[in-house]
Structures are given as C-alpha cells and as structure tokens.
C-alpha cells in the first residue's frame, strides 16, 4: 500500500473495498499475539489514511489472514485469541449469501474473510510452479479458471492476487468469466458484538 498508495486511493474513489491483509504478510502461526496486533494496526493506519485522502467514508472493516493461516499451528486457544483481537479492533464478518463451501461452513463463526476458489495465478511465476500446477501460459490459466471454477458450487469467492508479474492476467480472466455469464455480487457484513472474557 505504501508503494502504490495513489492506486489504493483511486480504487477507493471508484467503489472498491480495501481490506486488511497484514503489513508484512506473515504466517500468523509464526508470530506472537502482540506482533499480530502490530501487523494489523499498522495496516489499519494506512487504510484509514487512504480513505481520508480519497475523501470517502470507509464502508466496512475486513481482515483476511495471509495464507489463510489463522494461527492453528499454535493451538485452538491462539486462534481464539486472534479472533478476539479482530473483535477488539472492530472488524466485521463478511457474509457471502448462499455460498455453500466447507471453507466457509467450518469457519462460519470466524470474523476474518475467506475464499473458496484459488485462481493460482502465482503458478506462472516460475517453471517449477508452472509444472506443479500444469499451467504454462495465459491461455492455460484462463481455461483452468473457466473449467474448474464452478465444479463444486454455483457460487464461489475467488482469490486472485495482483502481483506485478501477473496483473496482466486479470483482464483475460475477467473477460472469460463475463463470457460465461458469471455475475458478481457484493457481500453483506455483520457487526460483531464484543464478547466478554472468561
């Protein structure tokens, strides 16, 4: 966000929601609770600044864990502490109506945002990852998204990264999805009441 701050402001001014994904993208299982707080708060400051510069009211406070690492390697108690931290920092639960997927139903009480389909555009980073995922060019990538996206559910939450190496993939993917009559929907959000501690 610091490197591309003007782009963030532009996105806000054009209706995009900006969520928190941490400052340095760590595995949350590898950091302490205080480090987790610092990762999140530091990014919140950037997001609030961007909304201020854009002269827009921030519509929602969303968070997604890097790598979907919700701290489970440190145990259930730590994952609960992270969820409590998100509550304390006033994050909201995003609700994707009628999306039925184990990635959501297993975590339906959690505040952080999830995804159900990984576009895997990072497979095109290196020859090794291209071989691993059997994706060798833009056509392979777009075809794989078109073929696999709705295999398990008619509604999905798509994870797509905007890396410098892969941002050129977004338009071909989007155009393919539009040609398949895919409809895009805005999720709703739930404010979470802070639970009392035991």
CATH of the domain spanning 1-91, picked from 3.40.50.300, 3.40.50.11540, 3.20.20.370, 3.40.50.1370 = 3.20.20.370
Phi/psi at 62 (5° precision) = -120, 150
Instruction: Kindly list the domain boundaries of the chain, sorted by start residue.
Output: 1-91, 115-198
Residue with the bigger pLDDT between 174 and 39: it is: 39
pLDDT classification of 198: cutoffs 50, 70, 90: very low
What is the mean pLDDT of the segment spanning 36-54?
Answer: 98
User: In whole angstroms, how far apart are CA 95 and each of 11, 113, 127, 148?
Assistant: 22, 9, 37, 23
- DSSP per residue, the chain: --TTHHHHHHHHHTT----B--SS---GGGS-HHHHHHHHHHHHHHHHHHHHHHT-------B--GGG--SGGG-HHHHHHHHHHHHHTT--EEE-TT---HHHHTTTT--S---SEE--GGGGSSHHHHHHHT--SHHHHHHHHHHHTTSS-SS--EE----TTTGGGHHHHHHHHHHTT----PPEEE--PPPPP-
Neighbours of 83 (CB within 10 A): 20
Exposure string over 39-65, b if 16+ CB within 10 A, otherwise e: bbeebbebbeebbeebeeeeeebbbbb
Q: What is the pTM of this model?
A: 0.86
Report whether pLDDT(195) > 80.
no
Dihedral sign, Cα of residue 135, residue 169, residue 27, residue 67: negative
Q: Is pLDDT at 194 greater than 60 in this prediction?
A: no
Q: Say what the pLDDT of residue 124 is.
A: 83
- Radius of gyration in angstroms for the set of CA atoms belonging to the chain, rounded to a whole number: 18
Is pLDDT of 52 > 70? yes
More confident residue, 92 or 169: 92
Q: Phi and psi of 188, rounded to 5°?
A: -100, 170
pLDDT tens digits for 93-114?
988 877 877 767 667 789 999 8
Is the pLDDT reported for residue 196 higher than 60? Answer: no
């Amino acid at each position: 966000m610091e490197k591309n701050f003007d782009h963030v402001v532009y996105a806000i001014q054009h209706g995009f929601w900006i969520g928190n994904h941490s400052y340095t993208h760590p595995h949350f299982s590898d950091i302490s609770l205080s480090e987790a707080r610092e990762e999140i708060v530091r990014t919140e400051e950037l997001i609030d600044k961007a909304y201020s510069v854009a002269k827009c009211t921030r519509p929602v406070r969303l968070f997604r864990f890097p790598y979907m690492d919700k701290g489970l390697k440190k145990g259930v108690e730590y994952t609960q502490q992270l969820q409590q931290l998100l509550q304390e920092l006033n994050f909201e639960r995003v609700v994707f109506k009628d999306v039925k997927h184990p990635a959501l139903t297993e975590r339906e009480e959690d505040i952080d945002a999830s995804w159900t389909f990984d576009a895997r555009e990072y497979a095109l980073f290196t020859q090794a990852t291209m071989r691993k995922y059997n994706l060798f060019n833009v056509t392979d990538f777009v075809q794989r998204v078109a073929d696999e996206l709705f295999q398990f559910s008619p509604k999905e939450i798509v994870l797509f990264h905007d890396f410098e190496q892969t941002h050129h993939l977004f338009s071909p993917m989007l155009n393919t999805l539009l040609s398949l009559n895919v409809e895009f929907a805005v999720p709703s959000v739930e404010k979470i009441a802070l639970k009392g501690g035991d």
